[in-house]
Amino acid sequence: MEILTTIKETRDKVKEWKAQGLKVALVPTMGYLHEGHRSLIDRAHKENDKVVVSIFVNPMQFGPNEDLDAYPRDLDRDAAICEAGGVDIIFHPSVEEMYGPDFQSYADMHVLPEKLCGASRPVHFRGVQTVVSKLFHIIPAQRAYFGQKDAQQLAIIRRMVIDMDFDIEIIGCPIIREDDGLAKSSRNTYLSEEERKQAVILNQSLNKGMEAIEAGEKDAAKIKQIITDNLNTCPLAKIDYVEVVSFDTIQPIEKVEGAVLIAIAVYIGTTRLIDNRIIL
Protein backbone atom coordinates (compact mmCIF):
# COMPACT_ATOMS: atom_id res chain seq x y z
CA MET A 1 0.00 0.00 0.00
CA GLU A 2 1.21 3.49 -0.85
CA ILE A 3 0.29 6.75 0.87
CA LEU A 4 0.20 9.47 -1.79
CA THR A 5 -0.15 13.15 -1.01
CA THR A 6 -0.23 14.81 -4.43
CA ILE A 7 -3.07 15.02 -6.92
CA LYS A 8 -0.78 14.32 -9.86
CA GLU A 9 0.77 11.06 -8.65
CA THR A 10 -2.60 9.75 -7.46
CA ARG A 11 -4.36 10.58 -10.72
CA ASP A 12 -1.51 9.10 -12.80
CA LYS A 13 -1.60 5.84 -10.82
CA VAL A 14 -5.38 5.44 -11.20
CA LYS A 15 -5.19 6.24 -14.93
CA GLU A 16 -2.45 3.61 -15.31
CA TRP A 17 -4.65 0.97 -13.62
CA LYS A 18 -7.62 1.87 -15.80
CA ALA A 19 -5.47 1.63 -18.93
CA GLN A 20 -4.72 -1.94 -17.83
CA GLY A 21 -8.47 -2.63 -17.73
CA LEU A 22 -8.66 -2.77 -13.92
CA LYS A 23 -11.77 -1.79 -11.92
CA VAL A 24 -10.95 0.92 -9.40
CA ALA A 25 -12.98 1.80 -6.29
CA LEU A 26 -12.85 4.97 -4.22
CA VAL A 27 -13.79 5.12 -0.53
CA PRO A 28 -13.86 8.82 0.47
CA THR A 29 -13.28 9.41 4.21
CA MET A 30 -12.14 12.03 6.68
CA GLY A 31 -10.04 9.41 8.48
CA TYR A 32 -10.19 8.15 12.06
CA LEU A 33 -11.52 4.99 10.50
CA HIS A 34 -13.88 2.63 12.31
CA GLU A 35 -15.72 -0.57 11.43
CA GLY A 36 -18.22 1.40 9.35
CA HIS A 37 -15.39 2.53 7.05
CA ARG A 38 -13.88 -0.95 7.18
CA SER A 39 -17.18 -2.39 5.86
CA LEU A 40 -16.98 0.05 2.89
CA ILE A 41 -13.35 -0.93 2.25
CA ASP A 42 -14.19 -4.67 2.45
CA ARG A 43 -17.04 -4.30 -0.03
CA ALA A 44 -14.92 -2.15 -2.37
CA HIS A 45 -12.16 -4.76 -2.17
CA LYS A 46 -14.56 -7.60 -2.97
CA GLU A 47 -16.14 -5.85 -5.96
CA ASN A 48 -13.08 -4.21 -7.61
CA ASP A 49 -9.43 -4.83 -8.53
CA LYS A 50 -7.95 -1.76 -6.82
CA VAL A 51 -9.10 0.32 -3.85
CA VAL A 52 -8.20 3.94 -3.10
CA VAL A 53 -9.16 5.39 0.28
CA SER A 54 -9.03 9.17 0.55
CA ILE A 55 -8.30 10.58 3.99
CA PHE A 56 -8.87 14.32 4.10
CA VAL A 57 -10.49 16.34 6.87
CA ASN A 58 -12.22 18.78 4.57
CA PRO A 59 -12.29 22.29 6.14
CA MET A 60 -14.88 23.44 3.62
CA GLN A 61 -17.62 21.25 5.11
CA PHE A 62 -17.20 22.58 8.67
CA GLY A 63 -19.05 25.71 9.78
CA PRO A 64 -17.27 28.45 11.78
CA ASN A 65 -18.40 27.04 15.17
CA GLU A 66 -17.93 23.39 14.32
CA ASP A 67 -15.30 20.88 15.40
CA LEU A 68 -12.68 21.14 12.59
CA ASP A 69 -9.66 21.49 14.90
CA ALA A 70 -10.97 18.92 17.36
CA TYR A 71 -11.84 16.41 14.62
CA PRO A 72 -9.91 13.22 15.52
CA ARG A 73 -6.93 12.31 13.34
CA ASP A 74 -4.58 9.29 13.46
CA LEU A 75 -2.93 8.46 10.14
CA ASP A 76 -0.83 5.56 11.50
CA ARG A 77 -3.89 3.81 12.88
CA ASP A 78 -5.86 4.53 9.68
CA ALA A 79 -3.00 3.18 7.55
CA ALA A 80 -2.96 -0.07 9.57
CA ILE A 81 -6.74 -0.48 9.05
CA CYS A 82 -6.39 0.21 5.31
CA GLU A 83 -3.43 -2.17 4.96
CA ALA A 84 -5.40 -4.94 6.71
CA GLY A 85 -8.33 -4.26 4.37
CA GLY A 86 -6.21 -4.69 1.24
CA VAL A 87 -6.26 -1.01 0.22
CA ASP A 88 -3.83 -0.14 -2.60
CA ILE A 89 -3.52 3.63 -2.14
CA ILE A 90 -4.33 6.10 0.60
CA PHE A 91 -4.75 9.55 -0.91
CA HIS A 92 -3.87 11.93 1.93
CA PRO A 93 -3.48 15.47 0.56
CA SER A 94 -2.79 18.63 2.54
CA VAL A 95 -5.37 21.43 2.63
CA GLU A 96 -3.04 23.46 0.35
CA GLU A 97 -2.91 20.62 -2.17
CA MET A 98 -6.72 20.50 -2.36
CA TYR A 99 -7.47 24.21 -2.08
CA GLY A 100 -4.82 26.43 -3.68
CA PRO A 101 -4.45 30.09 -2.64
CA ASP A 102 -6.78 31.35 -5.41
CA PHE A 103 -9.43 28.67 -4.95
CA GLN A 104 -12.92 30.08 -5.61
CA SER A 105 -15.14 27.37 -7.15
CA TYR A 106 -17.92 25.41 -5.47
CA ALA A 107 -20.30 22.59 -6.27
CA ASP A 108 -23.76 23.27 -4.87
CA MET A 109 -27.40 22.22 -5.24
CA HIS A 110 -30.93 23.41 -4.48
CA VAL A 111 -33.60 21.50 -2.52
CA LEU A 112 -31.86 18.31 -1.33
CA PRO A 113 -29.45 20.12 1.05
CA GLU A 114 -32.10 22.49 2.46
CA LYS A 115 -33.61 20.31 5.20
CA LEU A 116 -32.21 18.00 7.92
CA CYS A 117 -28.44 18.51 8.43
CA GLY A 118 -28.36 21.25 5.77
CA ALA A 119 -30.79 23.35 7.85
CA SER A 120 -28.59 23.26 10.94
CA ARG A 121 -25.24 23.20 9.02
CA PRO A 122 -25.73 25.74 6.19
CA VAL A 123 -22.34 25.40 4.42
CA HIS A 124 -21.86 21.70 5.07
CA PHE A 125 -23.20 20.11 1.89
CA ARG A 126 -21.63 22.70 -0.40
CA GLY A 127 -18.31 21.68 1.15
CA VAL A 128 -19.10 17.98 0.78
CA GLN A 129 -20.16 18.35 -2.86
CA THR A 130 -17.09 20.42 -3.69
CA VAL A 131 -14.61 17.99 -2.17
CA VAL A 132 -16.37 14.90 -3.52
CA SER A 133 -16.43 16.43 -7.05
CA LYS A 134 -12.70 17.08 -6.74
CA LEU A 135 -12.07 13.53 -5.49
CA PHE A 136 -14.07 12.09 -8.43
CA HIS A 137 -11.85 14.11 -10.83
CA ILE A 138 -8.59 13.27 -9.06
CA ILE A 139 -9.45 9.56 -8.67
CA PRO A 140 -11.48 8.62 -11.77
CA ALA A 141 -12.71 5.36 -10.20
CA GLN A 142 -15.56 3.32 -11.65
CA ARG A 143 -17.29 3.00 -8.25
CA ALA A 144 -17.42 5.02 -5.02
CA TYR A 145 -18.65 3.70 -1.67
CA PHE A 146 -20.56 5.77 0.92
CA GLY A 147 -22.27 4.84 4.19
CA GLN A 148 -26.04 5.14 4.61
CA LYS A 149 -25.56 6.71 8.04
CA ASP A 150 -25.08 9.98 6.16
CA ALA A 151 -28.28 9.36 4.22
CA GLN A 152 -28.77 12.97 3.09
CA GLN A 153 -25.15 13.11 1.91
CA LEU A 154 -25.72 9.88 -0.05
CA ALA A 155 -28.89 11.30 -1.68
CA ILE A 156 -27.06 14.53 -2.59
CA ILE A 157 -24.08 12.71 -4.09
CA ARG A 158 -26.33 10.41 -6.14
CA ARG A 159 -28.19 13.51 -7.44
CA MET A 160 -24.93 15.35 -8.20
CA VAL A 161 -23.58 12.37 -10.16
CA ILE A 162 -26.75 12.26 -12.29
CA ASP A 163 -26.99 16.04 -12.75
CA MET A 164 -23.30 16.59 -13.57
CA ASP A 165 -22.79 13.38 -15.61
CA PHE A 166 -20.01 11.95 -13.46
CA ASP A 167 -19.04 8.57 -14.89
CA ILE A 168 -19.07 6.74 -11.57
CA GLU A 169 -21.40 4.31 -9.82
CA ILE A 170 -22.37 5.26 -6.26
CA ILE A 171 -22.76 2.36 -3.85
CA GLY A 172 -24.59 2.99 -0.56
CA CYS A 173 -23.64 0.61 2.27
CA PRO A 174 -25.60 -0.25 5.46
CA ILE A 175 -24.98 1.40 8.83
CA ILE A 176 -22.61 -0.55 11.10
CA ARG A 177 -23.55 -0.48 14.79
CA GLU A 178 -21.98 -1.12 18.17
CA ASP A 179 -23.35 -4.13 20.11
CA ASP A 180 -25.86 -1.89 21.91
CA GLY A 181 -27.12 -0.38 18.63
CA LEU A 182 -25.26 2.97 18.56
CA ALA A 183 -24.28 3.76 14.95
CA LYS A 184 -20.47 3.75 14.55
CA SER A 185 -19.06 7.24 14.07
CA SER A 186 -15.70 8.94 14.50
CA ARG A 187 -17.56 11.44 16.73
CA ASN A 188 -18.47 8.70 19.28
CA THR A 189 -14.94 9.16 20.66
CA TYR A 190 -16.02 12.60 21.99
CA LEU A 191 -18.58 11.00 24.35
CA SER A 192 -17.89 10.64 28.08
CA GLU A 193 -18.71 7.27 29.67
CA GLU A 194 -22.15 8.47 30.78
CA GLU A 195 -22.88 10.15 27.42
CA ARG A 196 -21.85 6.98 25.60
CA LYS A 197 -24.39 4.97 27.68
CA GLN A 198 -27.19 7.45 26.95
CA ALA A 199 -26.35 7.71 23.22
CA VAL A 200 -28.18 4.40 22.57
CA ILE A 201 -31.38 6.48 22.79
CA LEU A 202 -31.01 7.42 19.09
CA ASN A 203 -31.27 3.85 17.84
CA GLN A 204 -33.88 2.92 20.46
CA SER A 205 -36.10 5.85 19.47
CA LEU A 206 -35.85 4.98 15.76
CA ASN A 207 -36.81 1.40 16.70
CA LYS A 208 -39.96 2.75 18.40
CA GLY A 209 -40.84 4.64 15.23
CA MET A 210 -40.27 1.54 13.10
CA GLU A 211 -42.40 -0.59 15.46
CA ALA A 212 -45.27 1.87 14.96
CA ILE A 213 -44.84 1.69 11.16
CA GLU A 214 -44.73 -2.11 11.27
CA ALA A 215 -47.95 -2.02 13.31
CA GLY A 216 -49.59 -0.06 10.45
CA GLU A 217 -49.01 3.61 11.38
CA LYS A 218 -48.57 5.74 8.24
CA ASP A 219 -49.00 9.25 9.65
CA ALA A 220 -45.57 10.91 9.53
CA ALA A 221 -46.46 13.44 12.27
CA LYS A 222 -47.42 10.63 14.67
CA ILE A 223 -44.21 8.73 13.93
CA LYS A 224 -42.16 11.90 14.53
CA GLN A 225 -43.98 12.36 17.85
CA ILE A 226 -43.27 8.79 18.99
CA ILE A 227 -39.55 9.24 18.22
CA THR A 228 -39.43 12.71 19.82
CA ASP A 229 -41.20 11.53 23.00
CA ASN A 230 -38.76 8.65 23.34
CA LEU A 231 -35.71 10.89 22.80
CA ASN A 232 -37.05 13.29 25.43
CA THR A 233 -36.91 10.54 28.09
CA CYS A 234 -33.09 10.78 27.93
CA PRO A 235 -31.70 13.48 30.26
CA LEU A 236 -28.58 14.21 28.16
CA ALA A 237 -30.33 14.26 24.75
CA LYS A 238 -31.13 17.58 23.08
CA ILE A 239 -32.95 17.17 19.77
CA ASP A 240 -31.62 19.03 16.71
CA TYR A 241 -34.21 17.46 14.38
CA VAL A 242 -36.53 14.49 13.94
CA GLU A 243 -37.80 14.30 10.35
CA VAL A 244 -39.76 11.94 8.12
CA VAL A 245 -38.94 12.82 4.50
CA SER A 246 -39.01 11.36 1.01
CA PHE A 247 -35.63 9.67 0.42
CA ASP A 248 -35.70 10.94 -3.18
CA THR A 249 -36.37 14.63 -2.50
CA ILE A 250 -35.45 15.02 1.22
CA GLN A 251 -38.70 17.00 1.63
CA PRO A 252 -41.17 16.35 4.47
CA ILE A 253 -44.03 13.95 3.74
CA GLU A 254 -47.38 13.43 5.45
CA LYS A 255 -47.75 9.70 4.80
CA VAL A 256 -45.17 6.93 4.96
CA GLU A 257 -45.23 5.55 1.42
CA GLY A 258 -42.59 5.02 -1.30
CA ALA A 259 -38.93 5.57 -0.44
CA VAL A 260 -38.86 7.15 3.03
CA LEU A 261 -36.03 8.43 5.20
CA ILE A 262 -36.56 8.83 8.94
CA ALA A 263 -33.63 10.92 10.09
CA ILE A 264 -32.63 12.28 13.48
CA ALA A 265 -29.83 14.49 14.80
CA VAL A 266 -29.42 14.71 18.55
CA TYR A 267 -26.87 16.37 20.82
CA ILE A 268 -25.67 14.08 23.58
CA GLY A 269 -23.92 16.62 25.76
CA THR A 270 -22.04 18.73 23.21
CA THR A 271 -21.63 15.94 20.63
CA ARG A 272 -24.04 15.97 17.71
CA LEU A 273 -24.94 12.45 16.55
CA ILE A 274 -27.08 11.38 13.60
CA ASP A 275 -28.92 8.15 12.80
CA ASN A 276 -31.68 7.04 10.46
CA ARG A 277 -33.87 4.38 8.96
CA ILE A 278 -34.41 4.09 5.21
CA ILE A 279 -37.61 2.37 4.06
CA LEU A 280 -37.46 1.40 0.37
Best CA proximity match to 48, nearest among 106, 89, 91:
89
37 is annotated as an active-site residue: yes
**251, 233 in Cβ contact below 8 A?**
no
Q: Which 97-126 residues touch ligand PAF, going by CB under 6 A?
A: none
Determine the size of the site formed for ligand PAF (CB under 6 A).
10
**53, 27 in Cβ contact below 8 A?**
yes
Q: Which of 37, 92, 110, 137 is catalytic?
A: 37
Q: Position 107: which residue type?
A: A
Among 30, 44, 227, 261, binds ligand PAF (CB under 6 A): 30
- Contact code string over 152-191 relative to ligand PAF, x by CB under 6 A: -x--------------------------------------
Least separation in angstroms between CB 267 and ligand PAF? 19
CB-based contacts of 170, cutoff 8 Å, min separation 6:
143, 144, 146, 154, 157, 158, 161
Least separation in angstroms between CB 90 and ligand PAF? 13
Q: Which 193-232 residues touch ligand PAF, going by CB under 6 A?
A: none
- Tell me which stretch binds ligand PAF (CB under 6 A): 12-20, 26-34, 99-107, 191-199: 26-34
| DSSP conformation letters of 107-121 | ---SSTTTSTHHHHS
Give, rounded to a whole angstrom, the gap between the first and last alpha carbons of the chain. 37
Among 24, 41, 131, 156, binds ligand PAF (CB under 6 A): 131
* Nearest CB to ligand PAF, comparing residues 154 and 234: 154
- Distance in angstroms (rounded) separating the CA atoms of residues 172 and 28: 12
**245, 257 in Cβ contact below 8 A?**
no
Least separation in angstroms between CB 78 and ligand PAF? 12
Least separation in angstroms between CB 165 and ligand PAF? 20
Least separation in angstroms between CB 159 and ligand PAF? 14
Q: How many Cα neighbours within 13 Å face the side chain of 280?
A: 2
What residues make contact with ligand PAF under the rule CB under 6 A? 28-30, 58, 61, 128, 131-132, 150, 153
